[in-house]
Every structure is written in C-alpha cells, then in structure tokens.
Structure 1
Amino acid sequence: MFSKLAYSVFEQSINDYHKYDNVDQPINNPYSNDTFEHLLYLKNWIDTVQWHFEDIIRDPNIDPVEALKLKRRIDASNQERTDMVEFIDSFFLKKYSEVRVKDSAKINSESPAWAFDRLSILALKIYHMNEEATRKDASKEHISNCQVKLNVLLEQRSDLTTAIDDLLTDIQNGDKYMKVYKQMKMYNDDDLNPILYQNKK
C-alpha cells in the first residue's frame, strides 16, 4: 500500500532530522533520485524544517531583523513544498496514464499528492504530540491532555491512510480520475504580487 510506504518514509525523515534538530543541517536523502521514496523523503524534510521555522518565529523575544529573514525562508519553504506536491502528482499522473477511465468516473476533491501532503504533516503532529505526552518535566494534566490528542491523531492517521489507498485504488480501476491544477501562488511571483512588481519599476 502506498500510504504505508509513504508513512514509513515520513517517519524516517522526521527521525533523521531530529538526530541534530537544526534547521540548517543538510539533508541526506538515502533514496535514489529516480525513486518515489526520494520524493517522499524530500517532501517531508521540507515540511519538518518548516515546522521548526514556525516554532522559532513565534519566539516572543526574537530579533525583528532575524524574524524578517526567517519569514523569507518560510515563504521559500512554502514554495518548495508546493513544488514537491506537483512532482509527486506528476509521478501518479504517469503511473496511471494508461488507465481506461470509466464513463461514470468522478474526480476527487484533492489530488493524491495533496493527500500525501496531509499525511506528511500528520506524521509531524504525531511525532511532536508523542514528545509532549512523554515529557518527564511536564505535569500529569499536560501529559494526560496530550495523550488524548495523540489518540485522536492516531485515529486520524488510520482514516487518512485508508482514504489515500482507496483513492489510488479507484484511480487505478478507472472509477476516479486525476485532474491536477498547478498551484498559482501569487505572493512569491514578481509579476503577480503588486508590491513586488511595483518595486521593479
């Protein structure tokens, strides 16, 4: 099942990152460039680094200049995240390109890659909620509350992985079809963000 494979790669990426827990550490993708796993690992690594960017920028004592620099990095990371989703969708478009789509086939509300994006973020939520639920210096109330949340996240993982596998099965069988819209982010585009194109004059 693709979801089981993806989740194991996401967990590997998260665990590898937390060996050093440094947003500036270089990625060491263990998978060959031409594999699906390579895309999944890279996708989650981007998500993991951005997760920690978001933690850092919420420091109430952060230097405003450093905060602005970090905001720029977050913007770049968001663009990378979107690009990776499109790469993963391209993989599925190619994989199912020969499928005969049934006349009764319906489109799904999200593409497979955006579903995997949700699974990648969910893997991060589970990792960090588990950290909070097992903290040695936390109160019993904190641990109990976090364990309740962790249980919900684990249930969500079960539901999401099932939904992903069902979607891919439906696409493979021609019961659903993929239609991918390229993301049209405007804030990073020199020609679409008024602040950016006005400054070019």
Structure 2
Amino acid sequence: MISELANKVFNQAITDYHQFDEIDHPVENPYTKDSLEHLFYAKNWIDTAQWHMEDVVRNPDIEPSEGLYWKRRIDAQNQLRTDMVEYIDSYFLHKYQHIQPSADATVNTESPAWALDRLSILALKIYHMQEEVNRPTADEAHKIQCQLKLDVLLAQRTDLSNSINELLTDIEAGKKYMKVYKQMKMYNDPTLNPVLYNKNS
C-alpha cells in the first residue's frame, strides 16, 4: 500500500539526513528518478531541512539580520515543499487518468499528495519526539510526558496511513475522484503582494 511505502521512505530520508544533520548537505536520493520512492524521498528531505531551519530561527539569541535570513530561507523552502506536493499529485493524476468516476463519486477534502505531506511531517514529529524520550539529559518527568505524546503521534500515523490508503482505493474504484488546485501563494509574487508592488510604484 502507498502509505506503507511512504512511511518507509520518509523514515529512510530522516535517518539519512541525521547522519550529517546539516541543512545544506546535498541530497543523495537513492531511488531512480521516475519512481514514486524518489519523489517521497525528495519530499521528506525538503521537510526535514525545513524542520531544522525552523529550529534555528527560534533561537531567542539570534541576531535580527540572521533571523531575517532564515525566515526568507524558510519561505523559499516552503515553496519547494508546495511544488513537490503538486508534483506528487501530478503523478497520481497521471496514474488514475483512465479511471472513470461513478456518477455519485465525490471529491475528497484534500488531494492524496497533501495527505502524504501531513504523513511526512508526522514522521518528523515521531522521530524528534522519540529523541526526547531517549534524551539522556532529560529528567524522568519529561520523558514520560514525551512518551505520552509519542503514543498519540503513532496512533495518528496509523489513522492517517489507513485514510490515505482508503482514499487511493476509492479513487481506483471510481468512488472518489481527484481535483487538484494549485497553491496560489501571494506573498512571494511581486504582482500580488502589496508591500512589493507598492514599493515599485
């Protein structure tokens, strides 16, 4: 099933990233470019790098100029994340292009790739919460609280994985159909962000 594959590849990407734990370490995607695994690996690597950018920018002692630098990098990384989600949705649109939806088929609240995006972020939450459970310098109360949170995250992953599999099964059966909307982000567009276009007027 797709979710099992995604979880496996997401975990692999997270583990590979933390061998170096460097935001700018070059990606060495182990999968062939035309494979779904390649997309999943690239997607999660983007998310993992952004996760650590978010850690850096929250340093209370960060210099304002450095904070702005990281904020702009996070914006750019978030655009990469969105582009990759849309690319994964294109994969599924192509895969299911010959499926004829039934007359009473419905559209889902989110596309398969955006659901998989949540699964990728969830994999990161699980990894880092497990780190807190195992952190040698943490006291027992902290570890217990983190274990409780980890249990919830693991249950959430099971539920989300099942929901994604059910969605794709329904699409294959014609019970649901894909309807993908491009993310029309406005803040990076100099023609749509008033701060940017008023600056040039």
Aligned to 1:158: 158
RMSD, aligned CA: 0.7
Deviations 1:142-175 (A, max 9, x none): 0000000000000001000000000000000000
**2:78 matched to 1:107?**
no
Distance 2:82 2:25 in 1: 21
State the partner residue of 1:97.
97
Matching residue of 1:72: 72
Aligned to 1:54: 54
Structure 2 partner of 1:126: 126
Task: Spell out the pairing of 1:164-175 with structure 2 (5 A cutoff).
Answer: 164-175=164-175
Give 1:199 deviation, angstroms: 2.4
TM-score, structure 1 normalization: 0.98
Off by >4 Å, runs of 4+ in structure 1: none
2:24 aligned partner = 24
- Once the two structures are TM-superposed, the CA of residue 200 in structure 1 deviates from its matched residue by 3.1
Identical positions, percent: 61
1:181 — aligned with what?
Answer: 181
Q: Quick one: which amino acid aligns to residue 116 of structure 1?
A: L
Gaps of 5+ in 2: none
Amino acid at match of 2:104: S
TM-score by length of 2: 0.98
Q: Deviations over 1:19-66 (max 9, x none)?
A: 011111111111111111111111101100000000000000111111
**1:117 has 2:146 as partner:** no
Q: Match for 1:195: what amino acid?
A: V
Q: 1:12 matched to which residue of 2? A: 12
Letter in 2 for 1:62: I
